[in-house]
Structure 1
Amino acid sequence: MFFLVFVITIVSFLNERSQGTLERLMASPLRRGEIVLGYMLGFTVLALVQAAEVLVFALAILKIQNHGNVLLIFGMEALMAIAAVNLGIFLSMFARSEFQAVQFIPLVVVPQMLLSGIIFPVSSEPTALQYLSNVLPLTYAVNGMRDIMVKGADLTWSALQLDAAVVAGFCVLLIVAGTATLRRRLG
């Protein structure tokens, strides 16, 4: 889900810039932060629909075993989706074409997917890569999802609280960075 949401966001936001829509919005009385939040909310709604579809498919069709609260799973999916949206908006500011935007996939998204514990455990990585993994927000999202679905974690678990806080903090950081970058690139 992280991958698809990121790609859709970065390409769509880049198209908004290249078609002049973003510049027209910048001429409106809206502040840059409001523009970024508006785009973020729009892309996030689409991402949440996709997250719900993935969750229903995984639990109802694939019958993936779940020991946790479905709403908590969806909440962690929502945080992942918001992180992917904000990462896409932020990185789109550094690309001038779709080709350049897509180049961020092997540079930013694939390493996160490989190092976050989705494919193989972080504990099996070399020590240096484990340190890098512990900086990546997707690692915390994966840990949170695993804790909920496999261990039945709830909101009283400090590990789950930490995972959610790190991903949420990353989202806030990217909103601020996206707003500042928009200001520099267009302002």
Structure 2
Amino acid sequence: MNPHATIATIKRILLQLRADHRTVGLIVGVPTLLLTLLYFVYNGSAVFDRLALTMLGILPMLVMFLVTSVAMLRERTTGTLERLLTTPLHRADLLLGYGIAFAVAALAQSLVIVAVAHWLLGVDTAGPLAWVLLVAICAATVGVATGLLASAFARTEFQAVQFMPLVIGPQVFLCGLLAPRDGMPELLRWLSDALPMTYAVKALQAIGRQSDPTTDVMQNAGVLLAFTVVALGLAAGSMPRRTR
């Protein structure tokens, strides 16, 4: 790996993001708008507080998966990736640069959505708000890494979008948002344990219940980071130079 190539990739992606106002709006604005819509659906009731807290882990993962899978596929379909890989730039440098650049975007996204949830929509937690921000960022980076991995198997941007219900849908059903995991059949609990969104929801639920959720948050955040590293490694090994 070449640190200079990675840094150059980070700068290039961040400059592209800054110039693409629609993508910035998707990353930062859409999760906030969806959370606000949920607030009015439940009229600010106690149910909203419970759902909104878990959505702070789900929405960033969903949006970042969509954005990164399409962005990387666009690099391939336009021939940009093929040209880049004729230089000393390694796949690992490219994907690490993508991951870090979109992690910066995820930080901005998480700051906005957590601030809106707490100060405008009144979502309260027993634990510190900083832990909520950490989990939201970790969940978003998982979305980045899995989006990069999914893009390796898509040939068009439409196919990249089609991966979203396949990758994200089961996680939403099994993460504990819609029904307690303890009441699920054993097979579904095992499957839930293999999905990253489960750990984001577990961490956020611990923050909502405990005044000092440090142990639970660190354990689940560590699992999320492990998912990120594994997904980036698999993406680096499977990423083709271009899509024909």
TM-score after normalising by structure 1: 0.91
Aligned to 2:129: 70
- 1:13 deviates by 1.2
CA RMSD of aligned residues (A): 1.5
Structure 2 counterpart of 1:63, which letter?
Answer: G
Structure 2 counterpart of 1:143, which letter?
Answer: K
Aligned to 1:81: 140
- 1:161 deviates by 2.9
Residues 6-35 of structure 1 show CA distances to partners (whole Å, capped at 9, x for unaligned) of 111111111111111112221221222111
Q: Does residue 112 of structure 1 match 2:112? A: no
Alignment partners' CA distance in 1, 2:235 and 2:218? 25
Structure 1 counterpart of 2:158, which letter?
Answer: F
Alignment partners' CA distance in 2, 1:178 and 1:15? 16
2:89 match: secondary structure: coil
Q: 1:10 aligns with which of 52, 65, 69?
A: 69
Structure 1 counterpart of 2:187, which letter?
Answer: A
Residues 80-108 of structure 1 show CA distances to partners (whole Å, capped at 9, x for unaligned) of 01100000001100000012111111211
- 1:68 deviates by 1.3
Structure 2 counterpart of 1:22, which letter?
Answer: L
Q: Does residue 56 of structure 1 match 2:111? A: no
Change beyond 3 A, Cα 1:32–1:65: same
- 1:141 deviates by 1.1
Q: Does the 8 Å contact 1:153/1:160 carry over to 2?
A: no
Aligned to 1:186: 241
- 1:153 deviates by 3.5
Q: Does residue 141 of structure 1 match 2:200? A: yes
Aligned to 2:224: 167
Aligned to 2:210: 151
Aligned to 1:33: 92
- 1:162 deviates by 2.3
Structure 2 counterpart of 1:25, which letter?
Answer: L
Structure 2 counterpart of 1:97, which letter?
Answer: T
Structure 2 counterpart of 1:56, which letter?
Answer: A
Aligned to 2:152: 93
Identity rate of aligned residues, in percent? 34
Alignment partners' CA distance in 2, 1:22 and 1:118? 38
Alignment partners' CA distance in 2, 1:26 and 1:65? 48
Structure 2 counterpart of 1:163, which letter?
Answer: N
TM-score after normalising by structure 2: 0.71
- 1:47 deviates by 1.9
- 1:3 deviates by 1.1
Alignment partners' CA distance in 1, 2:175 and 2:76? 31
Mark the runs of 5 or more structure 2 residues left unpaired by the alignment: 1-58
- 1:57 deviates by 1.1
Alignment partners' CA distance in 2, 1:57 and 1:96? 37
2:168 match: secondary structure: helix
